[in-house]
Copies of this chain bind each other. A is one copy, B any other.
Amino acid sequence: MSIKIGIAGYGNLGRGVECAVKQNPDMTLAAVFTRRNPADVSILTEGVPVCRIEDAADWKDRIDVMILCGGSATDLPEQTPALAQMFNVIDSFDTHARIPEHFANVDAAAKKGGNVGIISVGWDPGMFSLNRLYANAVLPDGKDYTFWGKGVSQGHSDAIRRIEGVKDARQYTIPVESALEAVRAGENPELSTREKHTRECFVVLEEGADAAKVEEEIKTMPNYFVDYDTTVHFISEEELRKNHSGIPHGGFVLRSGRTGWDGENSHLIEYSLKLDSNPEFTSSVLAAYARAAYRLSKEGVSGCKTVFDIAPAYLSGKSGEELRKMML
């Protein structure tokens, strides 16, 4: 019995899910759904149809879990509730302030359809969130730290590209090593934005653009750069393509805390990710939670869930006996 997966949206994330499905022997890709003309979309898996997203309803009985691969800004707030009426769904919604609203919408739609919807799945939100929760539950007297990077921030790269005179750009978020070390040493530092991360930008200029002016505009950009120590490198288009075409990312979740009758003992919990491909790792997490949605749905569960609500065993294709034997 293979879990039949649908992919809604075929960009980097959708392609990542396609690769993840190939890696999981208990899953089969049933169809890919797109807002583009399906004839223009070429996928990796042979023999799998590409369909119009408007025709998703026709697949109601042929798809066990639909994995949504659109963006959080405009796609998912519409698509996840709409598709949750017809399918078990998984998304990677990451607009933190709107999670309560999104949760409520998906919950209502999923309950109406008798489906399971798991939202905000990936690594942050996702695996990082899980680690924050576990660490907080185990060490109630402590302090949390999250560092991101080294990795490409799509939002910051886009912000640079919008500057006049910029042809292309890639921005790396880099954790400050000395801040990380202070946390690991149990110093419980209070860290400002500037003290936690630096930003490094690789910029390709349009011909005739004023480099000094572009650098100034980047470094003083509110929200994105002004609160950080930012380095700007001007490079050629070839160099950008050659050395900066990947989408690596990662980061660290730490909690340092104290135990004992008078808090006399210190402990450090650290979780970290070093990812060659941000979208492919996110996709791999989505696939694991698709398995959970499928199994919960078979048990008659419906409604919206997050990673907090899913017992870990549901993510694995192995039985309880196997898990206890191999991983406990």
Contact = CB atoms under 8 A, between A and B. Distances in A.
Contacts of A35: none
A148 to B, nearest CB: 15
Given A259-B281, A267-B276, A313 B140 contact: no
A99 interface: yes
15 contacts: A23-B141, A99-B328, A103-B324, A125-B328, A133-B327, A134-B312, A136-B327, A184-B274, A259-B276, A259-B280, A269-B272, A270-B271, A270-B274, A308-B328, A312-B312
Assembly of this chain: how many copies? Answer: 2
A22 interface: yes
A10 to B, nearest CB: 14
A101 B328 CA distance: 14
A273 interface: yes
Interface of A: 16, 18-20, 22-24, 44, 96, 99-100, 103, 120, 125, 127, 129-134, 136-141, 184, 259-261, 265-277, 280-281, 283-285, 288, 291, 306-313, 315-316, 320-321, 323-325, 327-328
Contact of A96 (B120, B267, B323, B328): B328
> Would you list the 6 A-B pairs with minimal beta carbon distance, nearest first?
A137-B315, A265-B276, A259-B280, A308-B313, A265-B277, A137-B288
B132 A327 contact: yes
A102 to B, nearest CB: 10
Of the listed residues A18, A133, A270, A312, the one surrounded by the most CB atoms of chain B closer than 10 A to its CB is: A312
B273 A137 contact: no
Contacts of A261: 18-19, 22, 44
Nearest to A97: B325
Contacts of A280: 259-260, 265, 267
A11 B319 CA distance: 35
B259 A19 contact: yes
